[in-house]
Amino acid sequence: MRLVVVAGSTRTAAIDGISAAGADADALRHTPSADLEILDYGEPVQSPVVPVSPTGCPTPAVVTRAVREHVGFDVTAIDAGLARPTAAPTVDIGDGPGADIRDVDPVPDAERLFERARSFAAGLPDDEIAVAESIPGGTTTALGVLTALGERPAVSSSLPENPLPRKRRVVDAALATSDLAPGGAAGEPVRAVRRVGDPVLAVVAGVVVGASEAGTTVRLAGGTQLAAAAALARHAGVDEPLSLETTSFVADDDSAAVHGLADDLGLTLRATDPGFTALDHPATNAYVAGEAKEGVGMGGALAMAARDDLPMATVRETVVDLVDDLLAARTAGERRQVP
Amino acid sequence: MRLVVVAGSTRTAAIDGISAAGADADALRHTPSADLEILDYGEPVQSPVVPVSPTGCPTPAVVTRAVREHVGFDVTAIDAGLARPTAAPTVDIGDGPGADIRDVDPVPDAERLFERARSFAAGLPDDEIAVAESIPGGTTTALGVLTALGERPAVSSSLPENPLPRKRRVVDAALATSDLAPGGAAGEPVRAVRRVGDPVLAVVAGVVVGASEAGTTVRLAGGTQLAAAAALARHAGVDEPLSLETTSFVADDDSAAVHGLADDLGLTLRATDPGFTALDHPATNAYVAGEAKEGVGMGGALAMAARDDLPMATVRETVVDLVDDLLAARTAGERRQVP
């Protein structure tokens, strides 16, 4: 199995109270770059930050990495507009961060990103791929896209209390700037992602469309952001079966309505529970308390673990080992210079 | 084990009769990009060429890939100046192809390439890495560097008849342009690689130095080009043990003097024989006849296979399967558009 992880950034994430995907505003800009390093090397290699939330909840990349250490799936990282350098190998499709969706034309090259990703995915030799994202602020842009397409406007959050009213105000302002009504971009996925989305959504949608057209089975490894990418693919005419593999934390989040979204979009939903309640560790307790919930392919990786009969207890032990190593390195300030 | 593959290009390869790493002059410019795709995906994914010599001998990347399909080592590809796009994920350190070494200053950014690679390698979490190259024309630039450093001026060739006199004339012209005598850059590795080398050698040398300084065990996966990189590292002051893992084809090439080079540089030499005489297939027969010989980590991958007790018969079967698939795709013209 190949996991295609699309990483990038949107300045929408800088809006106060939108994202918990970084300890502070500066660290947040490094999160996707550090996530890719964790997936590839097991730790941040050149990135100066360890991606944690303001309360210290570690990035879901550690869960995906933990599964990878046992299952050994391939990772193909796509740079769809990283804000900071990464030492992880990437396929470069993006041209830098997306703008705040309340600005005019936040993803001006959406068409090109979508088409390049579509062409890239159509060329992959795999029978089956999983697709994931890493982009702080991505649930807000996902809400923008779902609203513009006229789909169910409900998304999850990396915060325990989903700031949905705040996200809706951002999306309302974004739609107004772009002179779009809810549903105004139905059937026009590139327009939706260009006006109220982010570059990662444009690339993920392109990957889903290109792979589906080439006959590759696509697993959407994530939560409501991947559902928004699926919505873009449906509005681009993809009617192949698609599955959405997420975590129990997203599935249990009533504010996110992922079941309804999956039904609306004809997605087979699979939610996998890593059983974090069996532990008492600050990292896993943070997930149990509703932080992070999903990202960087976590739900898809847990589904791979389940399919491979990898015990969740083994996944949990590896997660705890990885987190302890990460936080020890963070405390020791062992981060090295960006090349 | 992580295999770091440094890929790039030098216009030196365009000199008539220097390199067999491509079916023709245009195809040759795509070879490193296609090699990386073969390592990562098992076939060229976006590259429009299948890398073969003018007589049809397939790239050694298929041998490395064949071992990888069984042993499952990680690959980290570094773009040290590719001439053409690749769909393989890369860490981008280079700034484009090196110039013909007979020109003034063929690798003007050698210092920066070396330092960035050194910093990158110092940050790798691995206890042990293997380092490899993909650059057509690379034995000629290796000869330039060995000569400038005052080391034994003998290198291998991707051609059955090593055009050493031709390479020496190119190197003589290059040294004259840079006003360097043989041995004139001893102890000045960056000067040697900048004046008569290529960007891949600058990056490989930086990786060897950075990894060695960080206490990482380094295996040089290749032939005389990797020996030239080791010479650069030795002249940069590295005195840690280094091993050179190459193929029996390079070890048996008397024109290349790899044994003498290894002795001079204090490298533990390991030559692995894939046993291609046991087959009668056009691809493996070409290697038996002295074509290609090494590259893209072939010798290092064969050594990994031997250490893992992977039978060479299994490696050979997979090589033949991969080559048959590649050539079938080539015949069918199934190549897709570069993104």
- What is residue B336's predicted lDDT score, i.e. its pLDDT? 42
The answer to whether the CB atoms of B46 and A119 lie below 8 A apart is yes
End-to-end CA distance of chain A: 31
How far is Cα B311 from Cα B331, in angstroms, rounded to an integer?
31
A122 CB neighbours in chain B (<8 A) are 336
CB-based contact, A294 to chain B, within 8 Å: no
Per-residue pLDDT tens for B174-220?
999 999 999 999 999 999 999 999 999 999 999 999 999 999 999 99
Rounded to 5 degrees, φ, ψ at B230 are -65, -40
Question: B42 to chain A: nearest residue by CA?
Answer: A125
Percent of chain A surpassing pLDDT 70? 97
DSSP single-letter state for residue B90: B
CB-based contact, A114 to chain B, within 8 Å: no
Residues B304-331 have a mean pLDDT of 94
How far is Cα A285 from Cα B25, in angstroms, rounded to an integer?
60
Question: A5 to chain B: nearest residue by CA?
Answer: B89
Range 15-54 of A in CB contact (< 8 A) with B: 40-43, 45-46
What percent of chain A is helix, strand and coil (3-state, nearest 5)? 45, 15, 40
Structure tokens at B236: 């940069």
How far is Cα B93 from Cα B194, in angstroms, rounded to an integer?
16
Residue-level length of chain A = 339
Question: A329 to chain B: nearest residue by CA?
Answer: B125
Residues B120-134 have a mean pLDDT of 97
Q: Are A60 and A132 in contact (CB under 8 A)?
A: no
The rounded mean pLDDT for chain A is 95
How far is Cα B169 from Cα A332, in angstroms, rounded to an integer?
54
- What is residue A329's predicted lDDT score, i.e. its pLDDT? 77
Structure tokens at A142: 């996902």
Q: Which band of pLDDT confidence, cut at 50, 70 and 90, is reported for residue B63?
A: very high
CB-based contact, B89 to chain A, within 8 Å: yes
Residues B43-55 have a mean pLDDT of 92
Q: Are A216 and A121 in contact (CB under 8 A)?
A: yes
The rounded mean pLDDT for chain B is 95
Reply yes or no on whether the pLDDT at A163 is more than 90. yes
From the list B42, B45, B90, which residue is nearest A89 (CB)? Answer: B90
Q: Is B7 helix (H, G, I), strand (E, B) or coil?
A: strand
Edge-first strand order for the sheet with A74-79 is A91-92, A74-79, A2-7, A128-134, A217-221, A242-247, A267-272
Question: A334 to chain B: nearest residue by CA?
Answer: B123
The answer to whether the CB atoms of B91 and A88 lie below 8 A apart is yes
Helix (H) or strand (E) holding A202: helix A199-213
Q: Which amino acid is at B121?
A: A
B87 CB neighbours in chain A (<8 A) are 91, 120, 123
The answer to whether the CB atoms of B89 and A87 lie below 8 A apart is no
Higher pLDDT, B33 or A336: B33
- What is residue A333's predicted lDDT score, i.e. its pLDDT? 54
- Distance (Å) from the C-alpha of residue A281 to the closest C-alpha of chain B? 25
- What is residue B84's predicted lDDT score, i.e. its pLDDT? 96
The answer to whether the CB atoms of B122 and A45 lie below 8 A apart is no
Residue A69: count other Cβ atoms within 10 Å of its Cβ. 13
- What is residue A328's predicted lDDT score, i.e. its pLDDT? 86
Residues B140-149 have a mean pLDDT of 98
- What is residue A23's predicted lDDT score, i.e. its pLDDT? 87
Q: Are A276 and A42 in contact (CB under 8 A)?
A: no
Angle B296-B79-A216 (CA atoms, 0-180°, nearest 5)? 80
The answer to whether the CB atoms of B93 and A339 lie below 8 A apart is yes
Tokens 């110039």 identify what position?
B99
Strand blocks (E) in B56-152:
74-79, 91-92, 128-134
- What is residue A338's predicted lDDT score, i.e. its pLDDT? 36
Say which range, A120-124, A133-137, B61-65, B329-333, has the weakest mean pLDDT: B329-333
Please, what are the domains in chain B? 2-332 (3.40.50.10210)
Tokens 């981060």 identify what position?
A335
Reply yes or no on whether the pLDDT at B339 is more than 70. no
Reply yes or no on whether the pLDDT at B318 is more than 90. yes
The answer to whether the CB atoms of A92 and B92 lie below 8 A apart is yes
B93 CB neighbours in chain A (<8 A) are 339
Range 206-265 of A in CB contact (< 8 A) with B: none
Buried b / exposed e over A136-146, threshold 16 CB at 10 Å, is bbbbbbbbbbb
Q: At what angle do helices B110-122 and B189-196 cross, to 10 degrees?
A: 130
Reply yes or no on whether the pLDDT at A122 is more than 90. yes
Angle B271-B273-B276 (CA atoms, 0-180°, nearest 5)? 155
Please classify residue A337 by burial: count the beta carbons closer than 10 Å to its beta carbon, then call 0-12 exposed, 13-18 middle and 19+ buried.
exposed
> Rounded to 10 degrees, what is the CA torsion of A177, A180, A185, A188?
-50
Higher pLDDT, A256 or A107: A107
CB-based contact, B124 to chain A, within 8 Å: yes
DSSP single-letter state for residue A123: T
The answer to whether the CB atoms of A77 and B92 lie below 8 A apart is no
- What is residue A332's predicted lDDT score, i.e. its pLDDT? 64
Reply yes or no on whether the pLDDT at B334 is more than 90. no
Residue B127: count other Cβ atoms within 10 Å of its Cβ. 10
The answer to whether the CB atoms of A41 and B339 lie below 8 A apart is no
How far is Cα A18 from Cα A25, in angstroms, rounded to an integer?
11
**Nearest Cα residue to B5 out of B308, B296, B311, B318:** B296
- What is residue B329's predicted lDDT score, i.e. its pLDDT? 77
Integer CA distances (angstroms), A213 to A121, A206, A241, in order: 9, 10, 12
Q: Which amino acid is at A217?
A: T
ipTM confidence: 0.91
From the list A45, A122, A123, which residue is nearest B125 (CB)? Answer: A45
How many whole angstroms from its chain centre is CA B322?
Answer: 20
Tokens 């050493």 identify what position?
B164
How far is Cα A290 from Cα A51, in angstroms, rounded to an integer?
17
Per-residue pLDDT tens for A57-108?
999 999 999 999 999 999 999 999 999 999 999 999 998 999 999 999 999 9
- What is residue B338's predicted lDDT score, i.e. its pLDDT? 36
From the list B45, B89, B117, which residue is nearest A90 (CB)? Answer: B89
Integer CA distances (angstroms), A170 to A161, A177, A183, A202, B85, in order: 17, 11, 16, 19, 38
Helix (H) or strand (E) holding A244: strand A242-247
Residue B109: count other Cβ atoms within 10 Å of its Cβ. 18
Reply yes or no on whether the pLDDT at B116 is more than 90. yes
Q: Which amino acid is at B170?
A: V
B91 CB neighbours in chain A (<8 A) are 87-90
Edge-first strand order for the sheet with B128-134 is B91-92, B74-79, B2-7, B128-134, B217-221, B242-247, B267-272
Residues A150-155 have a mean pLDDT of 96
Strand blocks (E) in chain B:
2-7, 74-79, 91-92, 128-134, 217-221, 242-247, 267-272
**Nearest Cα residue to A274 out of A223, A243, A319, A325:** A319
Rounded to 5 degrees, φ, ψ at B92 are -95, 110
